[in-house]
Amino acid sequence: MLHEDRLLPSDPSQRAIARRLYAEIRNLPIVSPHGHTDPAWFAENKRFPNPAALFVIPDHYVFRMFYSQGIRMEDLGVPRADGGAVETDPRKIWRLFADNWYLLRGTPSRMWLDHAFSEVFGLDQPFGPKTADAFYDHIDACLAKPGFLPRALFERFNIEALATTEAAIDPLVHHRALKQSGWTGRVVTTFRPDAVVDPEFEGFAANLDALGQASGEDTGSWAGYLRALAERRAFFKTMGATATDHGHLNATTADLPQDEAAKLYARARKGGLSAAEADLFRGQMLTEMARMSLDDGLVMQIHPGAFRNHNQPVFERFGRDKGCDIPIRTEYVAALKPLLNRFGNEPGLTIIVFTLDETTFSRELAPLAGHYPALRLGPPWWFLDSPEGMRRARETAIETAGFYNTVGFNDDTRAFCSIPARHDVARRIDCGFLARQVAEHRLGEDEAREVAVDLTYTLVKKAYRL
């Protein structure tokens, strides 16, 4: 099912080079420094319930496509926010999935699923309506075996380190349990403070109270609030965190005098900020986070530019993360200036910036990353985490940013079985990109081989301090 040369360029000279490069890196361990897998899987090591629960129900990359063609999410088993009835028979869900499998043609989800079926479950027939039941039965039988428990898969996937993402006030019980379990798999957390730094987040005031309780600091004052954040960061570090992550609507940063920041915080706490002030506060907090990163060494990730929950009726019926987050045009040059002018010249700091607006690669992000010592360019994210998206990202960013201001690949996934597939796609696309450079005599093959290893392994570990 999976062709040995998939995703490599079809030009014979490029393909030959790409094969050689890929042979050098295909077996390197997976380093997954950013993603959204559930730490409970590894802490509890329980079996995955069934094929539909593994591949369909939680994967908004998949069910959004079916929804876009008029299939009800209820029929795909997606839980409703109001607890209303949805399909609960996993085999019925699976058959609906198989019947509409053709809709995924041309998408990365199709490739990831093919890869998981073949490489994880050893299925070598094409998936579709005719094979749906056989696939279901086989996968379901596998899931009952010890070799398909989360930790066994983690080891089989050759994952050297995996970062999950938790909210700042999360008690990290699963990470604690993992630490005490004696299992040697490296699963670390990431500090995500959106709920306590964004005045427009649901329940912001209550979140601040919870932050106070979790940290033992009084978040009633600006100083106490900052101490509380620093304390939580320190706690996350004890659970392996090497990074923070910040999901904002845009890339705004600010560098206010501390007394102004304190006043803004006092008003934010009371819930009275305008949209522009809330934006300013979030921007100020990015700069505060950078300052703390200089102290505690946590790497900073900024993920701006997603308009969340664009579809109001779907949000009301099903809640967040239902495939209706839509990228928006994102500006970085003016937005990042306050942060970069304050801390961008610090070689000891690492700020990794992501984008959903690929026009910014050549125009804004590569020039910025090709100059500021603290800035690194994150890999293609979300809708851009696809063969064409990755190829364009390399073509538009590398000439100005160079390879060494990038940080390797992120799978960013909540679909565990897609991790090897996603890393494999990235490796193949990189080898194809490098093969073209070699075939066009722009880079020696010896150098390309070094770069391939760096992009796959070295740069990730270095950038994320893993």
126 binds its own copies (CB under 8 A): yes
Site for its own copies in 420-459 (CB under 8 A): 436-437, 439-444, 447, 450-451
Site for its own copies in 45-104 (CB under 8 A): 64-65, 67-70, 102-104
Return contacts of 332-335, CB within 8 angstroms, 24+ apart. 332/251, 332/360, 332/364, 332/365, 332/368, 333/364, 333/368, 335/250, 335/251, 335/252, 335/253, 335/283
What Rg do the C-alpha atoms of the chain give, in angstroms? 22
Site string (149-188) toward its own copies, x via CB under 8 A: ----------------------------------------
CB of 82 to its own copies, least distance (A): 16
Residue 463 vs residues 301, 369, 404: alpha-carbon distances, Å: 11, 13, 10
Nearer to its own copies, 2 or 143 (CB): 2
Contacting its own copies (CB under 8 A), which of 10, 27, 180, 184? 10
159 φ/ψ angles, rounded to the nearest 5 degrees: -90, 120
Residue 438 vs residues 216, 389, 396, 435, 457: alpha-carbon distances, Å: 57, 21, 18, 5, 21
CB of 20 to its own copies, least distance (A): 15
Per CB under 8 A, the segment of 90-98, 189-197, 292-300, 335-343 that binds its own copies is: 335-343
Q: Could you tell me how many residues make up the chain?
A: 466
Site for its own copies in 101-120 (CB under 8 A): 102-108, 111
CB of 332 to its own copies, least distance (A): 9
What lies within 8 Å, CB to CB, of 139 at 6+ separation is: 51, 54, 117, 121, 123
Nearer to its own copies, 102 or 122 (CB): 102
Nearer to its own copies, 99 or 209 (CB): 99
CB–CB of 53/90 below 8 Å?
yes
125 binds its own copies (CB under 8 A): no
Distance CA 441, CA 14 (A): 11
Nearer to its own copies, 79 or 185 (CB): 79
Per CB under 8 A, the segment of 51-59, 157-165, 273-281, 303-311 that binds its own copies is: 303-311
Nearer to its own copies, 91 or 371 (CB): 371
Site for its own copies in 367-406 (CB under 8 A): 367-373, 375, 383-384, 386-389, 392, 395-396, 398-400, 402-405
The gap from C-alpha 167 to its chain's centroid, in whole angstroms, comes to 14
Contacting its own copies (CB under 8 A), which of 32, 207, 362, 418? 362
Return the H-helix or E-strand segment holding 285: helix 275-296
Contacting its own copies (CB under 8 A), which of 196, 229, 314, 339? 314
Give one DSSP letter per residue of 146-178, joined into a string: GGGSHHHHHHHTTEEEEE--EETT---HHHHHH
